Amino acid sequence: MWMLHPVIDRADVLRENTEAVFAACDAAHGRWAKLLGVRVLLHPRLKLQEFLSIYNITQEFITATEKIGGRLGYSIRGTLQSQAKAYVDFQHESRMTKIKAVLDQETWAEVDVPDEFQAIVTSLFCFEELVSDSMDDVQGNITTNYSEVATNNDSGPQNDQQIGRTDSSEISQPNNPHLKSKSSAEAIERNKADSRSPPVQSNNSNLKERGKSASQTLTYGGVGYHMVNCGLILVKMLSEYIDMNNYLPALSSEVVHRVVEILKFFNTRTCQLVLGAGAMQVSGLKSITSKHLALASQVISFTYAIIPAIRQILFLKVPETRKALLLSEIDRVAQDYKVHRDEIHTKLVQIMRERLLVHLRGLPQIVESWNRPEDADSQPSQFARSLTKEVGYLQRVLSRTLHEVDVQAIFRSRIALDVLQIP
């Protein structure tokens, strides 16, 4: 029997050692969690790379101590997850605040596209490249913060190197609640000025001064889109959401939900400002012209085009149990963008219909002239000259901005049908 005592003692010692190691690991978890807790207000405000350095080293610490201690550290894992969610929440709220301010200051003036933004679209929305990209590649390709493209609303050190930024005069527009025939007339006059003036924005010269190259359109899927400032900022923000999704996979569902929210807001607010003429009240525009409508159409069309790529990228990390619901949400957003684009094109048709109705008021006098001798006047009537001139201006403005297929749809199908329906 005396031979059993050493075995029993050894088992007790091993058990006590195991408990001691676990207790040490648990104590280390507690100390680490306290360190994280002290910085709880700071972490959400860090840049993604800075937050990831803390997040990843904490994950490594948890993994190592769990392996040594033999038990899961539920408490510290919960603390880390909570801070990661707080980071996503804070970053999202700051972007929602920023995009609202940018939209309210948007003048819907065309801007050139700096190469940085084309690089974002090329790298982030090419599926194969995204899968193989590392964190260093992302940080190397995306060197500007979205605040560098933002409006005069920024007032911090992040504004030292601004790309594609417009000043306050270029980001403010006031609007009328309804686009009446008077607004349509003003739109035609604005279109005349647009057709005579070169499409060069003030920020373009700033870009040249900084030595940054730019192009006139943002290309995706072989198609070029004319952009305004808020569209470029949205592109930058979406790339940052994709980064968060890739490097915080445990929160992928949360990130997708917030991408859906910002896309919804951008679409709704753009509709209110342009189609709803809200920009005349908040940002100083005297009217909403066909040029504004065309540029809004381009931004909405571009966003609609990239939504399938965004969905494919984001859903790589989403748990299967959440995919069905989130897919339906993002698909509804895509449909809303398509409807919005179609409504803008319908409004462009309505502008010309309103101008036609205005000119039709002068037809009775023209009809009276038909009874005069044939050689009295061989020139086209004022009705025909004015209407042809205005349609020509609209065609030139839209052709420089919209895609050819959209221009054809507006002028061939819808205007033709509207004219035929006029009593």
Q: Tell me how far apart the 2 most distant CA atoms of the chain are, in Å.
A: 139
- Name the pLDDT band for 373 (thresholds 50, 70, 90): low
Could you give the CA distance from residue 258 to residue 89 in angstroms, rounded to a whole number?
Answer: 9
- Looking at this protein, which amino acid is placed at residue 50? E
Contact at 8 Å (CB) between 229 and 173? no
Provide the pLDDT for residue 97. 97
What average pLDDT does range 76-83 have in this prediction? 91
The lowest-confidence range among 42-51, 151-160, 280-289, 366-375 is: 151-160
User: Residue 125: what pLDDT?
Assistant: 67
Length of the chain, in residues: 423
Q: What is the pLDDT of residue 376?
A: 55
Q: pLDDT band for position 296 (50/70/90)?
A: very high
Beta carbons within 8 Å of 315's beta carbon, 6+ residues apart = 256, 323, 326, 327
**Are 187 and 286 contacting, i.e. CB atoms less than 8 angstroms apart?**
no
Tens digits of per-residue pLDDT, 191-237?
A: 444 444 444 344 444 444 433 567 899 999 999 999 999 999 999 99
Query: Could you give the CA distance from residue 12 to residue 10 in angstroms, rounded to a whole number?
Result: 5
To 10 degrees, the CA torsion angle through 303, 115, 109, 416?
-50
Using DSSP's 3-state secondary structure scheme, residue 220 falls into: strand
Higher pLDDT, 61 or 330: 330
Residue 54 pLDDT > 50, yes or no?
yes
Map residue 164 onto helix, strand or coil.
Answer: coil
pLDDT digits (tens, 9 = 90+) for 6-46: 555 777 767 777 777 777 887 888 888 888 999 999 999 99
Give the whole-angstrom CA distance, residue 287 versus residue 181.
11
**Distance from CA of residue 418 to its chain's centroid?**
34
Per-residue pLDDT tens digits for 225-239? 999 999 999 999 999
Q: Report the C-alpha gap between 338 and 348 in whole angstroms.
A: 16
Q: What is the pLDDT of residue 352?
A: 78
Residue 61: the pLDDT is 87
Of the two residues 206 and 417, the one the predictor is more confident about is 417
pLDDT at position 155 is 39
pLDDT per residue over 102-137, tens digit each?
999 999 999 999 999 999 999 876 654 444 444 444
| Helices marked H in 125-201 | 127-132, 135-141, 181-196
Q: Tokens 């029993």 sit at which residue? A: 8
Q: Find out whether 218 and 235 touch, Cβ atoms under 8 Å.
A: yes
State the residue for tokens 């349609």: 391
Distances (CA, A) of 198 to 185, 195, 256, 326: 22, 8, 40, 44
Task: Give the whole-number percent of the chain exceeding pLDDT 90.
Answer: 48
